[in-house]
Amino acid sequence: MSIQLRKSLMIAMGVTPVLLIGLSPATGAAEPVEEMIVTGVRGEARSLTDSTVPVDVLSGAEFKNQGDTDLSNLLRNVVPSYNVNAQPISDAATIVRPANMRGLAPDHTLVLINGKRRHRASVIYWLGNGVSDGAQGPDISVIPSSALKQLEVLRDGASAQYGSDAIAGVMNFILNDSSEGVNVEARYGGFYAGDGAQYAVSGNIGLPLTEHGFFNLSFEYGESDPTNRSVQRDDAAALIAAGNTSVLNPAQVWGSPHLEDDLKTFVNFGVDVTDDVSIYGHGNYASKTATGGFYYRNPNTRAAVFSPGDPEINGTELLVGDLNPTNGVGCPTVSITNDVPDPAALALISAGGALDSECFVFNEMFPGGFTPQFGGDVTDYSALAGIRGEAGKVHWDLSAGYGYNRVDFFIANTVNASYGPATPTTFDPGSYTQEEIGVNADVSYALSDAVTLSGGAEWREETFEITEGQIESWDFGPLAPQGFSAASNGFPGFSPEIAGSWSRANYALYADVEWKVIEDWRVDLAVRWEDYDDFGTTTNGKVATQYRFNDAFAVRGSWSTGFRAPTPGQSNAANVTTQFNPELGELVNEGTIPSTNPVALLRGGEPLNPEESENFSVGAILEVGSFTFTADYYVIDMTDRIALSQTFELTPDEVEALVASGVTSAANLQGFRFFTNDFDTRTKGIDIVGTYNTSLFGGDSALSLVFNNNKTEVTKYNPDTLNASRIRNLQEGLPETRWGLTGTQTWGPLRFLARVSWYDGWYDSEDGVDYDGGNFVFDAEVAYTVKDSLTFVLGAQNLFDEFPDENPGGAAGAGNKYSAYTPFGFNGGFWYGKMSYSFR
């Protein structure tokens, strides 16, 4: 790639070229690598330690030198305040997993690709252990690690520069821009337990685009087998003990989902048109199928399917459907004694019985009960193109982009109970689609050597669409009047009343000033005005500064305001989920409805407004030779936060109103909730990052330390919409402290890597348990490179097979042996091997 093009790319993204010592992806040896450092400004270039705000810089080798293929898991190991969980049995959150930075929701972190806003995923996290409930963030798992040149994480509020969502910070993925060379890699691994096998084949190809540009292609294809970390549920064990041979062991599987045909591709290109003008662009296409389990439906007790919904008789008799209610032939009562339905009465209505054509129970189809299998087919693609250049002291950039994410849901091994024996067992419930279009114009002008002015304008439109499911997935069948539940059990389909498309457009104007007051003191100012066509305008500002006392020590600090606009999906989507209630010891159906639904309005619902934030941070930087240490303290005050309310019990009138509004499964709901702005929080924490490079034992050595302590407190809330349980989820659902220490040692072609991570405790609302945490997790890897091109790698994640504390109520409850929200996973140790080949 030409020098002119590389320079224009850096200026347009607000980055600067500096020479750092990095690790070669092939050998792991220390070598000079040209890095680009995101500073959060659009003008004057500056080095990492001259930044007025904290920035983490992670080279592509940081991701290549790990065994996982999911970028979310890779980030968890190297970014101090980044958390992501396995999310089994979490509806759509199993397909696109929520991630949290600085203890805030997934949609409080802005994601950029080459400095341009990335579209969000279509999935709304209906289940997310409190912190992530109701969020709608981007899906970074579709980015192959082979596409990354570098990741920069700006750990500071940046809404005044980038707009909505940049409250916890900004993650900017810089794509590989090599114009030559080919790298291919194959990896295979599995868990010590013998399941969860994973394979992936990936590569990166760099090609010249004329003599003055580049075209870079990255790809990855793989699959991951499911895992099983369950214990047999007590109720299922009792059925087996009573002689029911159709019950599986375990009846319900807790584990990682099955990922099939996981394809990820990215392209990145740029070319000089003239000495002063360049065109550039990037795009991606990704697809996969994810399948996981749901909760077990007990053949004696599952209300409105196997047993009557009346709690007085639930579990004491079966729910019998009268297939011909007008012919005067009645159906017998099938009582249950010691977990065994009355065999004589059951024989009358079963195949070959005298009343076989008159009466029906679902025990005929599923004598051992059933566990639905839920998943989705994910499609994600995007395209962005732009032109940038310079004219004297003026630098300008024009770009336009489009993003698309769709999840087509499916559910199998379940029923629409109201259809009786005519029910399908596989359903298409419909789909979610997110589309975004953005146009952006930036300009900067160096007023003097000390002052740079920048500004720009942006227009964006996003659309959220719910596509109607097949009729059997949401319809009322003929047995609905007899108490059988309507819609596909576990994940009801989207009815015509729920389906629809909703759009929202906004435009913004913004300006930045960078002022070098004196040689050792710099100040950054930013302001952004934005207008949304659904809730009006918002104006946000930021001031950041750094003062350097000498070459070794500097201090920095910032203050800013920010906001996050509610998404069209959050404002309009409706959903029904099935959750295990640890207090009741049974499954409950809960609905989520728009906050403007008439039923929600009766309980305090109202149109959503944007969340607002005020960020403050202060930090210090110490540089002594090859040792760098940074510490930053931060406070994030948020008002009018958007999250799901507490669950309200439904009255009969409210059930009828919900059915009329399209929530056809409302007759079997135990409660409902909706999005609300009714609470404020304060998040306080400290980030510490230290690095040290030296020569030891005749080779090159590198050490890095990351530490984060983070605590969120709910400072104000409306007790009419939020209760103590929801407050506890928000405050205690993530570990308060975590840290990691990584060491790398190289001797020529031989490289060793070791990492230890420590995790604090957390509260699991679904288990109703406070987990102590205190777990140490060790990773290790050894690599050897032959003739600078062929590299063999053998490694282990969670080397010593560490597990979280066991769930004390696992067998008595839903069968999960471990918490689903453990911050380091519940699958145990994972081994892997890799082989890569590079040539130019």
Omega of the bond prior to 749 within 30 degrees of 0, cis? no
Q: Residue 310's pLDDT band (boundaries 50, 70, 90)? A: confident
**Residue 71: per-residue pLDDT:** 82
- Specify whether the CB–CB gap between 721 and 604 falls below 8 A: yes
Lowest mean pLDDT among 126-140, 189-203, 569-583: 569-583
Rounded distance between C-alpha atoms, residue 309 and residue 670, angstroms? 11
- Distances in Å between the Cα of 805 and the Cα atoms of 127, 353, 728, 822 are 22, 50, 20, 9
Higher pLDDT, 587 or 52: 52
If one compares 109 and 134, the residue with the highest pLDDT of the two is 109
Stretch 443-459: mean pLDDT? 93
User: Between β-strands 671-676 and 586-593, what pairing exists: parallel, antiparallel or unpaired?
Assistant: parallel
For residue 61, which amino acid is it? A
3-class secondary structure per residue, 482-497: HCCCCCCCCCCCCCCC
For position 510, what pLDDT does the model report? 96
Q: How far apart are CA 226 and CA 446, in angstroms?
A: 56
- The candidate with the shortest Cα–Cα distance to 823, out of 743, 764, 754, 766, is 764
Could you tell me the pTM of the whole model?
A: 0.91
Q: What is the DSSP string of 707-746?
A: EEEEEEEEEEE-TTT--HHHHHHHHHSS-SEEEEEEEEEE
CB 74 within 8 A of CB 63: yes
Tell me how far CA of residue 595 lies from CA of 329, 572, 603, 716, in angstroms: 46, 8, 9, 20
Q: Which residues of 369-388 are buried (b: 16+ CB within 10 A; e: fewer)?
A: bbbbbbbbbbbbbbebebeb
Tokens at 630, concatenated: 């940074």
74, 200, 221, 287, 431 from 264: Cα distances, Å: 16, 11, 6, 7, 21
Banded model confidence at residue 431, pLDDT cuts 50, 70, 90 = very high
> Nearest Cα to 21, choosing from 29, 13, 31?
31
Instruction: Give tens-digit pLDDT for 233-248.
Output: 999 999 999 999 999 9
Sign, Cα dihedral of 38, 43, 48, 50: negative
Please report, in angstroms and rounded to a whole number, the separation of the first and last CA atoms in the chain: 15
DSSP string, 325-363: TTSS------BEETTEE-HHHHHHHSTTSTTTTTEE-GG
Q: Indicate if the pLDDT at residue 2 is higher than 70.
A: no
For residue 21, the model assigns a pLDDT of 31
pLDDT digits (tens, 9 = 90+) for 264-304: 999 999 999 999 999 999 999 999 999 998 899 999 999 99
Of 464, 452, 538, the residue nearest 163 (C-alpha)? 538
Tokens in use for 303? 């209300």
565 closest CA partner among 717, 677, 426: 677
Question: Among the listed ranges 190-194, 291-295, 297-301, 457-461, which one has the minimum average pLDDT value?
Answer: 291-295
pLDDT score, position 260: 96
| Residue 255 per-residue DSSP state | S
Are the C-beta atoms of residues 131 and 85 closer than 8 Å to each other?
no
Report the C-alpha gap between 496 and 494 in whole angstroms: 7
Find tokens 């964006």 and name the residue: 460
